Structure 1
Amino acid sequence: IDSSRSVRPHEFETMRKFMIDILSTLDIGLNATRVGVVQYSSQVRSEFSLKSHAKLEAMVTGINQIVPLAQGTMTGLAIRYVMSAAFTAEEGDRPKVPNVAVIVTDGRPQDRVAEVAAEAREKGVEIYAVGVARADMASLRAMASPPFEDHVFLVESFDLIHQFGLQFQDKLCGVDLCLEAEPRCEHLCESSPGSFHCLCLPGHALRGDGRTSCRAIDLCVEGKHDCQQICISSPGVFSCDCNKGFKLNRDKKTCTDMDLCSTVQHGCEHQCVSTLGSYYCVCPEGKLLQDDGQSCGTCKSANIDLVLLIDGSKSVRPQNFELVKKFVNQVVDSLDVSAQGTRVGLVQYSSRVRTEFPLNMYHTADEIKAAVMKVDYMEKGTMTGLALKHMLETSFSESEGARPSGRNIPRIGLVFTDGRSQDDITEFAKKAKEAGITMYAVGVGKAVEGELREIASEPVEKHFYYTTDFTAISTIAENLKFNVCPEESQGEIEVKDPCDCESLVEFQQATMSSLEKLTHQHILLLKTRLHPNTDKSILSWLMKINH
């Protein structure tokens, strides 16, 4: 806007009205048409930038507050400012949105305009030149974009500029920006006066910029579906499917359990039992299920050295610590405890490690159970790495009651924890397994799966277990798939009978039996809380107890 001294006060007021009339026809908004106002005379002053106002009312207020500069007429200087400052990202300019400059002047420029106007047009600025009263037509044509009949206007007086505004609106707003500008909308473009809007095809929505690009609407990810088990997404629509062992009902949403024992080649030697989405094999009394999960066999009796590491940190809480002790005693009840049979040691840890009793202290189940009930809760931190070091170097030493490795009696370490270790576990978790100790990791509550996996022996999936609730820790028994017996030993030791590891299998079997009562009261709760990676045999065992 030219505010040189030649523009009289009442004429400038008419110019204000012209600007407001033009703005009132535009679709104003940060995501629609943005408007900035610059006045110039011998100097240039920005009244408000493209990013200053998002509503017409605020722009009208800004226009009404303009105070004319009332000096010379440096139109070229104004064009350079608009090109280099007003149309910048810092001032609110957007890429790929048309840049339009409307210059209103009443006189001949006092500086060069042709070169700077050509430079602005080359940079993509479309220039409309509006001359009033004494304006120079040659200067207007030097500024404006071609064709001149659409971009150059001369009004005889300021009194007529309001009427001219209607004609100019048709020129400025009658352009279909979807056709005139380069394509920017990914799918559909809708023109509006002085602006455009991008639309998306069905099943799609505009991305965060709200302008040009579209994204497919994934109803499954957004949770906008009612599939019971599996949701399969297509743009804007979804379909449902079921997990293995289930079939889709007629409503195409819910699933029904299939009797897998009657529909698949289960391979069970004795009996197949169907569960929700799975099945398991069982053996007759007096026989044990073998490692293949299908065949049945018998083994002679054998023993183990078992050390339990229980987390006594403050996050466990007293009532949950009592549940852990109850579980330990249920396990002890299921074992053939004696000096020559199975030996049990117990270690509690928090910020420090304490041996509650070593492997050689008690020789009957009653003695061990009594000692367990007397264990005091330590509280404080969670130094699992320190506990693993203690187990390896002390608990499984011969001085603590561990039998010599040459006797081939399996050594088992069972770690209970409810949270992330405050020290490093890597070194001694690795060393324990290298020393031949079969490691099981049990996580409860906030325990970290990565640490559980690092502690557990291979195959990891059969040696770690996680549950969100202390009342469900008894289900660890079904996860103890003791199948780590080597068929050959090192050196001159003769080949072992695979059944020599029956102690491990027997431990699993007896523990399952003794924990049925403890688990039964929590069975329904537990079924909704099992970790997604829980071995299917755990689910099988739970269903067996529940029935």
Structure 2
Amino acid sequence: SEKTHTLDLIFIIDSSRSVRPHEFETMRKFMIDILNTLDIGPDATRVGVVQYSSQVHSEFSLKTHSKLEAMVKGINQIIPLAQGTMTGLAIKYAMNVAFSAEEGDRPKVPNVAVIVTDGRPQDRVAEVAAEAREKGIEIYAVGVARADMTSLRAMASPPFEDHVFLVESFDLIHQFGLQFQDKLCGVDLCLESDHGCEHICESSPGSYRCLCLPGYTLNDDEKTCTVIDYCSFGNHSCDHECVSVLNGYHCRCNEGYRLLEDGKTCQHMDLCNTVEHGCEHQCVSTPGSYYCICPEGQLLQEDGKSCGTCKSANIDLVLLIDGSKSVRPQNFELVKKFVNQVVDSLDVSAHGTRVGLVQYSSRVRTEFPLNMYHTADEIKAAVMKVEYMEKGTMTGLALKHMLENSFSEAEGARPLGRNIPRIGLVFTDGRSQDDITEWAKKAKEAGITMYAVGVGKAVEDELREIASEPVEKHFYYTTDFTAISTIAENLKLNVCPEESQGEIEVKDPCACESLVEFQQATMSTLEQFTQKHILFRSLHLNPGSHS
């Protein structure tokens, strides 16, 4: 075997009465064979020998001999104690005395103990051996004759297949020494094994350990490393936030604050003077934030920045769209674009305007309820995915569904007590196949503001019956589908909620005026449009059956 790395090695030899004289001689030879493979010297490997039975006796310490010849002579002069078997006591002596600086143990040099025993210990070994291993002593256990494997494993370092040896008799111990020398010889396990250390592998005879780079700590798996969280040690004295970095930490301030020169204290900035606040009229700084204000008589708009005389109302809007077969697929796509134009005119958000969509033909289907989507983009994407039903025209059934389901709190309508207007918009291209009177009336009685939009062969009487008062301002009609985008442009669903009993709703000072304006504009646009299409209608009326 090649010479080993530098070691501090202690032999712990069992010399109890059950070890016969010729067996003890074989143990001497075993030790001398091992010594012959080592690079002995004060700056190379140092060796000490301890024998034990009922008591422990140091034959020579790590610092006694610096030459191989002197060690061999010392081993040959050992006189066996020939009493009991106090193996635990011997390990304790090795740990506390033999491997001490006073006895010649060196810092940073691997400690290896080789225990040779023929019998079961008469004292406890597991705890003291574990303590010795914790202190960094690598233990090899060599059992002979009647030795107990459980006790050997309790003493030895893991992995046991490299540190526990059992031979049947002392006659075999000499040959066995050759196998043992291979284990003790300088195999660098960091180079020769798959050690799995994340940062640094440090070899010791027959073993290794993982280490971490500065600023890291070893995890419980004893292989991987984690950055030391210096912030969690406390005492960082950062005003706001502490951020751990390699080998230290730094302080960080919350948004709207700046770090002072001491690197720890945070002072709030005048954000109005340091950021692009975008306020139309005036910006007011607060600690860590700011807000916009408007001149007297004007209102802050939904964007929180611009000022105006009107503020768009928040509403719960449910659209009922006709999916009957007379609509035709290409026109159904125009209906979806109409819906998305309406959505574009609204301030959609969870706390602002909510939109739900229902399609009806011979049956009624909720495409999405009021509480499903919270942005205009999400709603518009969902609208474009709606599939055309292509059957009858059950408008009454659709109104019933809207009242009973779509405006329920379960589907996202805000509670009535909050005075958020509920608006229903019915789009149809023809006469209903069921009665609409009952449910059109009930919807309006329930406080829902109803708009009716008709196209093509839609029946004006039905549209009027659906629409809220004043009827002229709540129903729209055009001759063909290409004109519905004009309605969408003019249909700004502003509302002027009534004062509710007990609670005064703050009125938007101009919602009602703008409502009148857009409805007048819409009606005049539609009148012009209708005039243009009278001739067209007379020439192109579809004589086919109507759904």
Q: Could you say which TM-score interval applies, normalised by the shorter chain?
A: 0.3 to 0.5
